Amino acid sequence: MFIREIGEKLHEMHLLEGRLTVAAANGAVRQMQQYRLQAKEVNDMLGLQQPKMKKTDVNAVAYELFRRKERLCEELAKALKTA
């Protein structure tokens, strides 16, 4: 489930990152890049290792990804306030 959801969003995030760059929302761009890279790593890792990983390990990796998503949302909110 995580693999497909993450993969579907990576392309959308790349497009949004370009729009944030044009808007000069540098903090949001940095968080977007970090989140997108983490999502790609998680997606790749789960795709290769999921059958061998324990559920707790998958959940820990997913939690870190969602934590980065929260930081991204905070930066997006800051960018929107200044726009």
Contacts of residue 47, Cβ cutoff 8 Å, sequence gap at least 6: 3
Residue 1 has pLDDT above 60, yes or no: no
The dihedrals phi and psi of 24, each to the nearest 5 degrees, come to 60, 35
Say how many domains are in the chain.
1
Question: pLDDT digit string (tens) for 26-82?
Answer: 888 888 888 878 877 777 777 766 667 777 887 787 788 788 888 888 888 888 787
Question: pLDDT digit string (tens) for 3-19?
Answer: 666 666 777 777 777 88
* Tokens representing residue 72 in the block: 């991204």
Q: What is the pTM of this model?
A: 0.58
> Whole domain around residue 51: which residue ranges?
2-82
